[in-house]
Amino acid sequence: MRSGKHVPQAQKSFLSPQAEIPSHLYTRPLLKKRCKAADRVRALSYNHRRREMAVVSLNGYIHCWNAAKFKQVMSKKLPHNMENVCLATDEEAHMYAVGSKANTDLLDARTLQVNYRMTVCHFTPSILNIY
């Protein structure tokens, strides 16, 4: 236990010394499907409102899947096909944000058209995460 963290006496007996260490479990997939026109998946985001999975592949495409039917519904070549590293979803604005080495593109989730493009200055590090 970390010092300064209060845990009631009744709960202390249930905590093991490894309770604060995160653990990960690997399971085998129930079903696999290939993306059309995709090499490998780099990032995945789930859109609860549209019940859709969006996937960015290493060859510069974004793919959208109907999550209930596990069927690919659309794909589009991204404007920056090198080093697309991350993907985020804004469900209220119906947008996907795709981050690449020097750009972030905001795409309309319904059409996958680029609505806005942000370019990072050359002296800043690459984009690795979008929240």
Of the candidates 76, 68, 83, 86, the one whose C-alpha atom is nearest the C-alpha of residue 111 is 76
If pLDDT is split at 50, 70 and 90, which confidence band does 35 have?
A: confident
pLDDT one-digit tens code per residue, 75-102: 999 987 777 888 999 988 899 999 887 7
To which H or E segment does residue 103 belong?
strand 103-108
Determine whether domain 30-119 maps to CATH 2.40.10.480: yes
Q: For the residues 8-24, what does the mean pLDDT come to?
A: 56
